[in-house]
Amino acid sequence: MQVRVANVRKEFDTFPALHDVSLEVRSGELIALLGPSGSGKTTLLRLIAGLEQPTTGRIFFGEEDASAKSIRERNVGFVFQHYALFRHMTVADNIGFGLKVRPAQTRPASAEIRKRATDLLDLVQLSGLEKRYPAQLSGGQRQRVALARALAIEPKVLLLDEPFGALDAQVRRDLRRWLREIHEATGHTTVFVTHDQEEALELADRVVVMSQGRIEQVGTADEVYDTPNSPFVYGFIGDSSSLPVRVEDDQVWLGERPIGLSAPGLPSGPGTLFFRPHDIELLDGCSGCLAGTVAASRRVAGTRRVELEIGGQRERVEIELPVDHPAAQKSRVAFRPRKWKVFPQSAIQGK
Amino acid sequence: MTAVPARAGWRFRQPSVIPGFGLTLGLSLAYLTLIILIPLSGLAWRSASLGWPQFWTLVTDSRTVNALKISFGTALAAAAVNVVFGTVVAWVLVRYRFPGRRVVDAMVDLPFALPTAVAGIALTTLYAPNGWIGALVGPLGIKVAYTPLGIVVALVFIGLPFVVRTVQPVMEEIDREVEEAAATLGASRFQTITRVLFPGLAPAIVTGFALAFARGVGEYGSVIFIAGNLPNISEIAPLLIIIRLEEYNYPAATAIAAVMLIISFAMLLVINMLQSWSRKRYG
């Protein structure tokens, strides 16, 4: 089922949570809404589910206008961050709930419901726990039950709100892989919200990066990492270092010196240079490069992160070096980013 | 490894960093003994000294039996009424924001604070055949004051806060998400309430019922004004105890008291068992 969000705007009282958001989710796609807290990602998910009504704009499921439908009629599977299981029901009753509350004409026989619950428990790898109560399960198990419960109603769309947010790191990693498998097995159109970029990049077919109630960029993991289209995305996805620079004569200037990066086609004027700390080349001499004094150096897992003070304003940037690289011992390091991007000042202020 | 297997059965709580376990436990036990255990065992001892045959004649006396029936029957009825309306009041207070909500919230506590005799007089004035409400319902053939119905009215008044104040905090803790989950799964509002919310509240409602009931059984002040105290019709057991005492008939008074104690204890035991059962199940 394809989902289309058309020019949706949502205000809480007068506070705008979403400004004119449009998004198309392809049928069978696994898509992540990624952003810091307050970026509107959960609001967007709840709007798709029908838990909130848009102030303006519409939401389509396939060709149907879903905005007019109540949450009950939309037939979405929603998984909450804190599971929201029914405490007084067994695992099997939780999973069967969506089928049991159907009107008598469309309700399956109770044996059928029980069988479906058992099948779904197999799918989420919790066979044999039918009789347990949610209080007797671990966090990871509860979230699996919540997913099985959402799948039981054969939803048109599966929506997950920070599904692994309340779990610890190891369980998250396992469940991530497992969710991907489930998605491939069932083929539901799935939208999930996360603030964890690793989760989004690893799991999703496409990532929707959101900030302050707007969609910044929609793309595959490669696209949003390699070709970020805004300073926010560059800063938010992956590590990045930035420097205030100036563009003149198709060259990037830091203070009074060009730094050896040519920027054909960029408008002249102030801007911000972004690059990845690990994607640099070290240089010996320096005529047209970035050079700075080492201010701090930290060992982080397999690499060494070096903080440099650069230029007259003593701006600080971070670069990453191999652990045993001799440059880390020096007091002055010269380098040039391999891949980089300059965003003109206007683009930054416009946000 | 010197893993010590956990011993089964009773065990003292391991001492923690918080000192004073021995002192506070000793104090609690001494206090409870003084306040509760000694008076109750005195009662048991006094009634035991009656001897079984005499005890049995005293408690099977028809006036006594009727008084006990009235006491427990009206308390049950009032607690049942309070469970329904107390839950509704709690729902309104928790779920909705309206002007004057805090006033209503405070009003719930009035029966706690009001001297019961004052409540009794006020209710009698209202429900007496010539009172405001009594005059309204009188022509319909309903007599409230000086009947068991009047006792129920007084006990409803007295018991309401017990239900509201036990259900309210539990209701406040209900996760909004649970209701949203039910809605996304296709449950109607009614199904959400009956299948999801109400079962979650049941332990609290049972507790509220137990408290309102226990209070109703023991209530004296407000009831004696409105009840009329006609023997065998609207005479409550606590009043009969006092009557016996005033007749210097101590054995009869003790016997009634002992029966009340036993019944109350049995009912609270059942209710407690219900609660621990539901707690074990629903965590």
Tell me the pLDDT tens digit for each residue of B60-113: 888 999 999 999 999 999 999 999 999 999 999 998 888 989 999 999 998 888
Q: What is the pLDDT of residue A45?
A: 94
pLDDT at B1: 43
Compare A228 and A260 and report the one with higher pLDDT: A228
Type of residue found at A263: A
- Residue B130 scores a pLDDT above 80: yes
The span from the CA of A157 to the CA of A161, in Å, is 13
Contact B186 A84 (CB under 8 A): no
Per-residue confidence band for B10, with pLDDT thresholds at 50, 70 and 90: low
B283 band by pLDDT with thresholds 50, 70 and 90:
low
Are A32 and A203 in contact by the 8 Å Cβ rule? The answer is: yes
CB contact at 8 A, B215 and B258: no
Q: How far is A336 from chain B (nearest CA, A)?
A: 51
How much is the average pLDDT of A140-166? 90
Backbone angle region of A186, left / alpha / beta, with phi > 0 → left and psi within -120 to 50 → alpha: alpha
Q: Give A87's contacts in chain B (Cβ within 8 Å).
A: 200, 282-283
Q: What is the mean pLDDT of residues A296-315?
A: 83
pLDDT in tens, A52-94: 899 999 999 988 888 888 888 888 999 998 889 998 899 999 9
Nearest to A86 among B196, B202, B281 (CB): B196
Residue range B105-126, pLDDT digits in tens: 999 998 888 888 898 899 888 8
> In chain A, which residue's Cα lies nearest the Cα of B180?
A51
Quick one: pLDDT at residue A351?
43
- Strands (DSSP E) contained in chain B are none
Q: H-helix or E-strand containing A218?
A: strand A214-219
CA R_g for chain B: 23
DSSP B86-104: HHHHHHHHHH---TTHHHH
Which one of A48, A91, A101, A159 would you mutate to disrupt binding with B, by most B Cβ within 10 Å of its Cβ?
A101
Distance between B182 CA and the closest CA of chain A, angstroms: 8
How close B279 gets to chain A, by Cα (Å)?
Answer: 10
pLDDT at B48: 81
- For residues A228 and A273, give the distance between their C-alpha atoms in angstroms, rounded to a whole number: 13
How far is A113 from chain B, CA to nearest CA, in Å?
14
Sheet with A56-61, strands from edge to edge, namely A15-25, A3-12, A56-61, A64-65
Residue in A with minimal Cα distance to B185 = A98
**ipTM here:** 0.81
Tally of CB atoms within 10 A around B215: 19
* pLDDT tens sequence across B245-281: 999 988 888 889 888 888 888 888 888 888 788 777 6
Which of B175, B186, B202 comes nearest A72 by C-beta?
A: B186
pLDDT exceeds 80 at position B16: no
